[in-house]
Amino acid sequence: MAKYVVKRVIAALLSLLCLITIVFFLVRLMPGDPFTSVKLTKEVAANMKSYYGFDKPLLLQYATYLGNLFQGNFGYSMKYTNKTVNYIIGQTFPFSADLGIRALVLAISFGLVLGIIAARNRGKKLDFICVLIAIIGTSIPDFIMGAVLQYFFGIKWGLLPVAKYLGFEYTILPATALAFYTLTSVSRVMRASMLEVVQQDYIKTARSKGLTDFRITWKHQIRNAITPVMTIMGPTVAAVLTGTFVIESIFAIPGMGKYYVESINNNDYAMILGMTVFYGMFLVTCNLIVDILYGVADPRVRIGKR
C-alpha cells in the first residue's frame, strides 16, 4: 500500500510540473497582455512591463517563476495591484470551500438516498419521481436554479437573505443551488450501479440465505455499488470546493470562482497560473484520496494493485 501511495504521489507531482510549464507558455500566446485598457499609453505600458519583469527573456521568467513557486509564492496579481495571488487565494478559498462542503454534504446524502430509493423501486412510481428529479436537476442550469431560489425565498417571501455570505442563513440558498446538479448526477450513478449489483450472484445467495431486505441492501448492495460514485467524487469535490463562478456571482459570495474566469479575460498571467496550479494541486489530491479510498471500500482493489 505504501509503495502504491508513493508512486501515485510522484506521478501527481510530475503532472503538476507539466501543467505549470504548459500553462506558463500558453498564456503568453493569448492576444493582448495584462495591461490592456482603453486609456493605456505606450510609455505607461513600457513601465508596467518592466515593473513585472516582462522585458526579460521568457526562459528566465520561467525559471524565476518556478523558483518562487517552490517557496510557495505565486507572485503579484497584475490586475489587482499590490495584492499577491497568495493573499487573494487565502481570502477567497475559505468561502468557496465552506460553500462547497455544504453543497457536497447535501448533494451526496440526498443523491445517494434518491438513487437507492429509485433502484429499489425500479419501474414503480417512486423510481419515476426520483428519475424525474434527476432529469430536472440535470437540465436546469445552476444560474437559473440560483436566480429562481433567490427570487422566491429572498425577495418574494423574504425568508432568506438575498445575497452575501455572513452566516448560516446566508449559506442555504447558494448551497442548495450548487448541490442540485451534483445531487442528480450522484443519484443517477448510484441508481445504475445499484441495479447492476442486484443482478449479481452474491445478492441471490444472500436472498436465498433468508437475509432481510434491509440487510441485503445495506450490507451487500450499497457497499458494492458505491465505487462508481466515488470515482466521480474526485473531480467533483475539487471543482465544487474551489469555487463556482456562477453561483458565487449570483449570491455575491466572495469566493474564488470568478478569478478563474476573470484572470483569463484580463490576461492576468500570475493569477491564471496561481489559480491553475492551486486547482491542479487540489484535483490531484482529491483523486489520490479517492484512489486510496477504493482500497478501503473494496479490498480487491488493493490486492489487484500490488
Partner 1 sequence: MKKKVLATLLCATMAVGLLAGCGAAKKESDSGSDSKEKVFRYAVSTEPTTLDPTKANGIGDNEIQHALTESLVRNTAGDVQPGCAESWDVSDDGLTYTFHLRDGLKWSDGEDLTAADFEYGWKRLLDPETASPYAFIGEYIKNGLDVEQGKKDVDELGVKAVDDQTFEVTLENPTAYWLSLIGSSSQYAPLRQDVVEEYGTDFAATADKNVYSGPFKLTGSENNEYIFEKNENYWNADKINLDKVQLTYVEKPETQLSMYEAGDLDYVQVPSAYVPDYEDKSEKFTNGNVDYCYINHKSDNKALQNKNFRLALNYGINREDYNKLANSSVHNAFNGLVYQGLQANGKTYGEAYKLDSYPLAGDNDKAKEYLEKAMKELGVSKASDISVELTTTDAESSKKIAEVVQSQWTENLGINVDIRQVTYAEIYGEVLPKGDYEIAFGGWGADYDDPYSYLELFKSDAAYNYSQYKNDKVDELLNDAKVQTDAQKRMDELHDAEQEIIDDAAFIPLQSRNIFYMHDERVTGLNFYFCSLNFDWVYADMK
Hey, CA dihedral for 281, 283, 286, 291, is it positive or negative? negative
With beta carbons less than 8 A apart as the criterion, state whether 164 and 250 touch.
no
Question: Which residue, chain included where needed, has cell 487540489?
Answer: 282
- With contacts defined by CB under 8 A, how many residues of the chain interact with partner 1? 62
State the DSSP H helix or E strand holding residue 66, giving kind and residue range, or none if neither: helix 58-70
- Is 162 a binding residue for partner 1 by CB under 8 A? The answer is yes
Nearer to partner 1, 41 or 199 (CB): 41
- Is 292 a binding residue for partner 1 by CB under 8 A? The answer is no
Instruction: Give the x-and-dash track for 242-281 against partner 1 (CB under 8 A).
Output: -------xxxx-x---x------xxx--------------
**Among candidates 92, 111, 115, 93, which has minimal Cα distance to 103?**
111
List the one residue from 74, 76, 180, 294 that touches partner 1 (CB under 8 A): 76
Nearer to partner 1, 126 or 239 (CB): 126
Which residues neighbour 185 within 8 Å (Cβ) at sequence distance 6 or greater?
Answer: 111, 138, 232, 236
Question: Percent helix, strand and coil across the chain, each rounded to 5?
Answer: 75, 0, 25
Q: How far is the CB of 53 from partner 1 (least distance, A)?
A: 11
Distances (CA, A) of 179 to 76, 153, 163, 175: 33, 17, 17, 6
- Is 154 a binding residue for partner 1 by CB under 8 A? The answer is yes
- Is 214 a binding residue for partner 1 by CB under 8 A? The answer is yes
In DSSP terms, which residues pair with 76 in a beta bridge? 84
With beta carbons less than 8 A apart as the criterion, state whether 79 and 40 touch.
no
- Is 26 a binding residue for partner 1 by CB under 8 A? The answer is no
With beta carbons less than 8 A apart as the criterion, state whether 277 and 74 touch.
yes
Q: Which stretch binds partner 1 (CB under 8 A): 76-84, 200-208, 278-286, 288-296?
A: 76-84
Q: How far is the CB of 289 from partner 1 (least distance, A)?
A: 27
- Is 302 a binding residue for partner 1 by CB under 8 A? The answer is no
- Is 155 a binding residue for partner 1 by CB under 8 A? The answer is yes
Q: Which residues bind partner 1 (CB under 8 A)?
A: 30-33, 35-44, 46-48, 50-52, 76, 79-84, 87, 91, 95, 110, 113, 117, 121, 126, 147, 150-151, 154-155, 158-165, 167-169, 172, 214, 249-252, 254, 258, 265-267
